[in-house]
Structure 1
Amino acid sequence: MATQIGEGKSLTELVISWEALPEDFQLEDKPVENTSQPVLAGALREILELAGFIQPQMLIASNFALCATLNGQFIAKAPDWIYVATVNQNLGERKSYTPNLEGDIPAIVMEFISDSDGGEYSVKRTYPPGKWFFYEQILKVPIYIIFDPNGGLLEFYQLENGRYELQQPNSDGLHWIDSMRLFLGTWQGTKEARTGYWLRWWDESGNLLPWAVERVEQESQRAEQERQRAEQERDRAEQESQRAEQERQQKEKLIAYLQSQGIDPDTLLSE
């Protein structure tokens, strides 16, 4: 299947097709990766797994070949994180993905800035085309996200009339992703010995979805709260028992006193 796109008579016509990546193809667009990138990508997936979001037909991956064929030449980019709602086949190991041929166009593509060459913003259309041009004009990915882990800047672009338009967050600093029914935003803190900015998911009600370590902490806190509640209940029961014992002792003393005075306590207590 081929698609032709053009932006004017002065620009070369681009013919796009969707073909399987050859076994001997070498990925030219090697990701510029630092130690933070796989941690950031893994943290995003972890939250979705724990929330029960990920389904067998979905593809959520990072740093592997996202492919298309442009004017008979294979192109592969290695985004830092992608989400595809439906793929035709659920493969255990996948080294590449070709949209339309193997399933849906990715709903979201993310790039984490790790250098200063600005490749994430490249609109170069000659072979090999820049990332921005590839995602916007060739794949037509609906949402393109550029995130700076060092400064915490999140740029959220949405495809509108064939062009990426920068979207503003809501009053809580979050971006709604309708295809996922989730919010995406930034969070500052520490995970896996990394302290800094992270991308996080929030549910429809604006509740932050936790990582595994946070779930453990929450369960621990709930267990401690339950222990304290049980202890307070025991204390109240003990106090009630002590109060009842005091009343019993006082009643016995009163009965003994009345009897010492020749008064029948049953007569008085029954009145």
Structure 2
Amino acid sequence: MSVELTAETNPQIADDLEWEPPMPPTDLIFDDGEPLESNRHRIAMNVLIRSLQQAWSNRNDFYCGGNMFIYYSSAQARNRDFRGPDFFAVLDLDGNKERLGWVVWEENGRYPDVIVELMSPSTANVDTGAKKDIYERIFRTPDYFVYNPFNPNSLQGWHLDNSRKYHELEQNDRAWLWCESLGFWLGTWEGTIDRETAVWLRFYDSDGNLVLLPEEAAQQQAEQERQRAERLAAKLRELGEDPDAL
């Protein structure tokens, strides 16, 4: 004789029917109060963020940030195992949404498409070891780069290949690395930004042109307008007109 198992005849079934998967934690911390390694690291991070935002100022389908926590699992959140890349970008999503950090389960499972870690002597081994391993195996981030703002020759990068493994990128003749996800080169540029002179990590477009910061773009536009005005004045003088009298 067979007995039909129901919630009434088997309490275990009732327990199973009432079981629900645990919800992700909501008491997330987005600021641990730890500053960046140095002022130069802070500027270097902002250069990458602001130049990408300037380059894509007519787009709202991407998000980029820096020194922000990325939460990707409940266990990681409970253990306060913070992951805060110095720069990251995520493509093909709503870039206008306000975010205190990047919470993967609130972003339809999306992870960064590009990560840049700004190394120091104390973090280099982790950035090229444990972090690189997490970005490869868990995040599946297609493009990962590291650079020490105090060492112009420290740029390294990896791209996720078809076997889901990182392979190291080769530098071009300018010692730049191609970022496939963004369609930009990553290379160095020497100059003064925010009153600090250094060799900065910058983006370059596919033609090799520097991706400008907002203030650089404004300065360039002002210079172009000045040159146009000078050409117009010269043309008027050729025609016998006084441009200052107009």
Q: TM-score, normalised by structure 2?
A: 0.73
Name the residue aligned to 2:158: 157
Root-mean-square deviation (CA), in Å? 3.0
Name the residue aligned to 2:119: 113
Name the residue aligned to 2:234: 232
Q: Do the aligned residues in 1 keep the contact of 2:30 with 2:100 (CA within 8 Å)?
A: no
Q: Do the aligned residues in 2 keep the contact of 1:175 with 1:184 (CA within 8 Å)?
A: yes
Give structure 1 regions of 4+ aligned residues with deviation exceeding 4 angstroms: 24-32, 87-90
1:219 aligned to which of 205, 218, 221: 221
Which AA in structure 1 matches 2:40? Answer: S
Q: 1:26 to 1:186 in 2, by over 3 A?
A: closer
Q: Do the aligned residues in 1 keep the contact of 2:136 with 2:166 (CA within 8 Å)?
A: yes
1:81 aligns with 2:67: no
Counterparts of residues 53-72 of structure 1 (less than 5 Å): 55-69=59-73, 72=75
Which AA in structure 1 matches 2:139? Answer: L
Q: 1:217 to 1:58 in 2, by over 3 A?
A: closer
1:181 aligned to which of 179, 183, 186: 183
Q: Do the aligned residues in 2 keep the contact of 1:29 with 1:77 (CA within 8 Å)?
A: no
Name the residue aligned to 1:134: 134
Deviation at 1:174, TM superposition (A): 2.8
Which AA in structure 2 matches 1:197? Answer: V
Unpaired runs of at least 5, structure 1: 1-18, 124-130, 240-271
1:56 partner SS: coil
Which deviations, in whole Å up to 9, do the C-alpha atoms of 1:7-32 show, x marking residues without a partner?
xxxxxxxxxxxx74541558789675
Deviation at 1:155, TM superposition (A): 0.7
Q: Do the aligned residues in 1 keep the contact of 2:85 with 2:117 (CA within 8 Å)?
A: yes
**Counterpart-to-counterpart distance in 2, 1:117 and 1:205:** 33
Q: How many residues align?
A: 213
Deviation at 1:183, TM superposition (A): 2.1
**Counterpart-to-counterpart distance in 1, 2:129 and 2:69:** 18
Greater shift after overlay, 175-184 or 195-204?
175-184
Which AA in structure 2 matches 1:145? Answer: F
Q: 1:26 to 1:82 in 2, by over 3 A?
A: closer
**Counterpart-to-counterpart distance in 2, 1:85 and 1:112:** 21
Deviation at 1:49, TM superposition (A): 2.2
Which AA in structure 2 matches 1:38? Answer: R
Q: TM-score, normalised by structure 1?
A: 0.67
1:205 partner SS: coil
**Counterpart-to-counterpart distance in 1, 2:28 and 2:239:** 75
Which deviations, in whole Å up to 9, do the C-alpha atoms of 1:95-127 show, x marking residues without a partner?
33226853422111111013424321233xxxx
Deviation at 1:211, TM superposition (A): 1.6
Q: 1:205 to 1:20 in 2, by over 3 A?
A: farther
Which deviations, in whole Å up to 9, do the C-alpha atoms of 1:180-225 show, x marking residues without a partner?
2222221111111121122222223222222222223322322332
1:93 partner SS: coil
Q: Between Structure 1 and Structure 2, whose CA radius of gyration is higher? A: 1
Which AA in structure 1 matches 2:117? Answer: E
2:206 partner SS: coil
**Counterpart-to-counterpart distance in 1, 2:179 and 2:165:** 18
Which AA in structure 2 matches 1:149? Answer: P
Q: Do the aligned residues in 2 keep the contact of 1:99 with 1:106 (CA within 8 Å)?
A: no
**Counterpart-to-counterpart distance in 1, 2:107 and 2:232:** 59
Which AA in structure 2 matches 1:121? Answer: T
